[in-house]
Chains A and B, each alone.
Chain A
Amino acid sequence: GQSLEQPSEVTAVEGAIVQINCTYQTSGFYGLSWYQQHDGGAPTFLSYNGLDGLEETGRFSSFLSRSDSYGYLLLQELQMKDSASYFCAVKGSYIPTFGRGTSLIVHP
């Protein structure tokens, strides 16, 4: 089976940097994805790491270490609109499995 662990909640102030960690246990690992979901909305894709290292997309970066079964999402220059839930997901064979999500609260 597959399981993922991520913190349930993270708080930060506007303009700061925050890191959301994700550890996973899975068979047949192919990659780690991150999704953002605002209250009442649909999850939207942020990033994907198929190989070890850092992927950068604007203010968001994602990191993967396959040897440690660990990844993180880094959000820089936080804005109020970044308040949302963030999910990591592992891709094993055809089936993406999601973590329970991290609620990010950004304070002014």
Chain B
Amino acid sequence: DIQMTQSPSLLSASVGDRVTINCKASQNINKYLNWYQQKLGEAPKLLIYNTNNLQTGIPSRFSGSGSGTDYTLTISSLQPEDFGTYFCFQHNSWPLTFGSGTKLEIK
């Protein structure tokens, strides 16, 4: 199975900060990497698909990059509504796997 290692696991940042969350795959996933945001008691919400494509309706302050085994989610200017847990997810190989999550807290 492809292991997806996210860092950091906990992130505390202020409104307006630039925030980056990293995801490292245990092998090449050919940019089949997606990012989800999950708030307490809710289903995950798709933010970015296939490394750098912004899902419809998602603010442009969210962006993604990466290749091979290393991927990054960036929030250019953190907003209060961005708190929650962020997961990366690969759909390159079976079984499909998620990262362990990054909990983003607003200072």
B partners with A = no
Task: Give me the interface of B with A, judged by CB distance under 8 Å.
Answer: none
Task: Give me the interface of A with B, judged by CB distance under 8 Å.
Answer: none
